[in-house]
Structure formats: structure tokens, C-alpha cells
Amino acid sequence: MMQGSKFIWLDNKLVDWEKAKVHPMTHSLHYGDAVFEGVRFYKTEKGTAIFRLKEHVDRLFHSASAFDMKVPLSNREAFNAIKEAVKANGIEEGYIRPFLFFGEKMGLNNIDLEAHFSVIVIPWGSYLGENAVRVKTSKFIRIHPSSSLMTAKISGHYANSILASADAKKAGFDEALLLDYKGNIAEGPGENFFIIKDGKLITPKPGTILPGITRDSIFKIAKDEGIETVETDLTLNDAYGADEAFFTGTAAEVTLIESLDNKKIGDGKGKIGEKLKQIYKSAVRGKDKRYLGWLELVK
Ligand code: PMP
């Protein structure tokens, strides 16, 4: 079994990694009715800092509300448990996976089922690598917004993501891009999508996407750099004709896109994207004073 770190937070305390176990009857394991977060923490001059922890915990509770889940702890307690889990593991930089899932039961009804909370902390480098990636439009479309609550980070949504991602990788690409039911661009399997055209930053409007916290951070950084951001419908032709494109996400951070469906985007490098990527990198490590408010120091 993989041993990612020393301790996992489970329900109300830290337990040894190998002692954190769930039963095969676990409802969420069968039906995907769990919710989770992906959060990163970084080494800064002042110590280890968790990036935008408040926003991630708020989104976790928003996601849980999709199932009327009776979360066994308060927002503040979850916030503190995540900090404790990071502190206890003594890892300098890595990834945090807060997770809320329903306990043991057969059948689709999860009302009155007890919910569990866990926090995994592991070292995890760049998700898609440092270089610009080659992307393929997926044959799988993103989930219809009337089929679920797309602002929630629900485990079951990731079956769609995994199918798209596996399909792209089998075809020799680095990542997939999913369209929505109208044929507009939605998002990557675990990333939001942006293009740059004539100096403007353009990204799909909310509806079929998870409105990412990295996406929001890029909005703020772009504004501070005097770059206009537009949230609108984006077609594949918009993307093929873009000057630049990139993905954003907690795991992927800012990942530049070299080509889409083997068509090179701009010169495949991305000047504005690269600039935003470097500012984001500085922000998460406390090197850009403008964004220190996004960091939660673990003490
Ligand atoms: N879309 C999907 C489907 C995702 O899984 C993620 C990663 N959480 C994102 C977008 C980006 O969200 P964030 O920037 O909050 O990590």
C-alpha cells in the first residue's frame, strides 16, 4: 500500500496513515456521493502556508450542502483540522485532500446517514509537469448542469473526468478538454480553461464548470496587471484561433497549452500566460506582497 505521509485526519483526530481504513459497505464508495477539496501548501519565508484555505473549506461545505450532508464538524473545526494535519506531517510543500463521505449503507437513500471527514496530506509535485501540454478535445462531454450541482466538487463528477482524461492519454495527449452539452468549451477533467486573444483573457462562464479557486486567483492577478478578463461562451474555433491558452487548477496550478487537437496555439509558448504563471508561483510562496492575504500560515 502507498504510504504518502505519517498521519491522516479521520473524523476527529489524527491517526497513523496505515490505520485509516473504511469499510467496503461505505455508501460513497459505491455511489459517488462524497465531496472533496484539493488544496496546496507551499514553503514560504515565514514557514509553511496553505493557499486560500478559507475558500477551499467554504467550497467543501457548499459541496456538502448538495446532499444535505450532516457534516460532523463546523467550518472552523475543519479549517483547524486541515492546519493540524499539515503541521503533524512535517512536509514542506504538498497537496491536501479534505474529504467528506457517507458511511455504511446499501441503497440510494443517504438521508440520516452519518458523514465522515478525513484529511490526507501528501507531497505532490506539478500535476501536468512544468512544460506546455498537448490537449485533445474529448469525445465525452461535461455533465449537463441540470444533471447535478456543477458548483459542487462531488466525487461522482470525476467518473466523467477520468473517462475523458484516460481517453486523451490513450491517444498520446497530455490532457483532455471537455465541451458542454451545447458544444461550447467547458473545462479540463480537473482544470479550468483560458485563452488569450488580442491581449484579453477569455474563459468559459460558470454553468457547466467548477468555478475554480485558481481561476479566481488568476482573475485578480490579471486585474492587477491591467489585463481584462471576459467570462463568456467559448467555441473550439475560438480556441484554435487563440494567441495563447492555459489551464488553471490547484493541482495543475497554471499550465500552458501548446496545442489543441494537434493544432498549435499561437507560437505554443504563451507570453501573457507565462507572466501570469510566474506571478501565481510567487503569490503561492509568499513572494508577492500583494497576495499575502491568500496564505494561511501553519504554526
Ligand atoms: N474544474 C474541475 C473539474 C476541477 O476538478 C478543478 C480542480 N479542483 C478545477 C476546475 C479547478 O479548481 P481549483 O482551481 O479550485 O482547484
Cα 259 from chain centre: 22
Residue 106 Cα, ligand 1 centroid: separation in angstroms?
A: 30
Q: Which of 53, 191, 218 to mutate to test the pocket of ligand 1 (most atoms within 8 A of CB)?
A: 191
Cell numbers standing for residue 47: 514557514
Which residue's C-alpha comes closest to atom 3 of ligand 1? 190
Q: What is the CATH number assigned to the segment(s) 133-284?
A: 3.20.10.10
Burial class (CB in 10 A: 0-12, 13-18, 19+), 72: middle
Residue 249 Cα, ligand 1 centroid: separation in angstroms?
A: 5
267 pLDDT band, cuts 50/70/90, is confident
Distance CA 153, CA 240 (A): 29
**Residues within 6 Å of ligand 1 by CB:** 38, 161, 187, 190-192, 210, 212-215, 248-250
Burial class (CB in 10 A: 0-12, 13-18, 19+), 285: middle
SS3 readout for the chain: CCCCCCEEEECCEEEEHHHCCCCCCEHHHHHCCCEECCEEEEEECCEEEEECHHHHHHHHHHHHHCCCCCCCCCHHHHHHHHHHHHHHHCCCCEEEEEEEEECECCCCCCCCCCEEEEEEEECCCCCCCCCCEEEEECCCCCCCCCCCCCCCCECCHHHHHHHHHHHHHHCCCCEEEEECCCCCEEECCCCEEEEEECCEEEEECCCCCCCCHHHHHHHHHHHHCCCCEEEECCCHHHHHCCCEEEEEECCCEEEEEEEECCEECCCCCCHHHHHHHHHHHHHHCCCCHHHHHHEEECC
Which residue's C-alpha comes closest to atom 4 of ligand 1? 190
Residue 243 Cα, ligand 1 centroid: separation in angstroms?
A: 23
Report the catalytic residues: 153
- State the closest ligand 1 atom to the C-alpha of 56, by its place in the atom list counted from 1: 15
User: Tens digits of per-residue pLDDT, 164-220?
Assistant: 999 999 999 999 999 999 999 999 999 999 999 999 999 999 999 999 999 999 999
- How high is the pLDDT of residue 180? 98
Which residue's C-alpha comes closest to atom 6 of ligand 1? 190
What CA–CA distances, in Å, run from 151 to 80, 86, 190, 206?
24, 26, 13, 8
User: Tens digits of per-residue pLDDT, 43-101?
Assistant: 999 999 999 999 999 999 999 999 999 999 999 999 999 999 999 999 999 999 999 99
Contact indicator for 260, 240 with CB cutoff of 8 Å? yes
Distance CA 80, CA 222 (A): 31
Which residue's C-alpha comes closest to atom 12 of ligand 1? 212
- Side chain identity, residue 40: R
Distance CA 125, CA 65 (A): 31
- State the closest ligand 1 atom to the C-alpha of 192, by its place in the atom list counted from 1: 10
* Domain limits, CATH 3.30.470.10, in the chain: 7-122
Residue 269 has pLDDT above 90, yes or no: no
Cell numbers standing for residue 80: 483547524
Residue 252 Cα, ligand 1 centroid: separation in angstroms?
A: 9
Residue 159 Cα, ligand 1 centroid: separation in angstroms?
A: 14
Rounded to a whole number of angstroms, the CA Rg of the chain reads 19
Q: pLDDT above 70 covers what percent of the chain?
A: 99
Which residue's C-alpha comes closest to atom 2 of ligand 1? 190
Contact indicator for 92, 60 with CB cutoff of 8 Å? no
1 pLDDT band, cuts 50/70/90, is low
Q: Which of 210, 220, 248, 280 to mutate to test the pocket of ligand 1 (most atoms within 8 A of CB)?
A: 210
Cell numbers standing for residue 232: 463568456
Closest C-alpha to 55, from 33, 77, 38, 68: 38
* Domain limits, CATH 3.20.10.10, in the chain: 133-284
Mean pLDDT score of the chain: 97
Mean pLDDT of all residues in 119-143:
96
Q: What is the CATH number assigned to the segment(s) 7-122?
A: 3.30.470.10
Residue 15 Cα, ligand 1 centroid: separation in angstroms?
A: 28
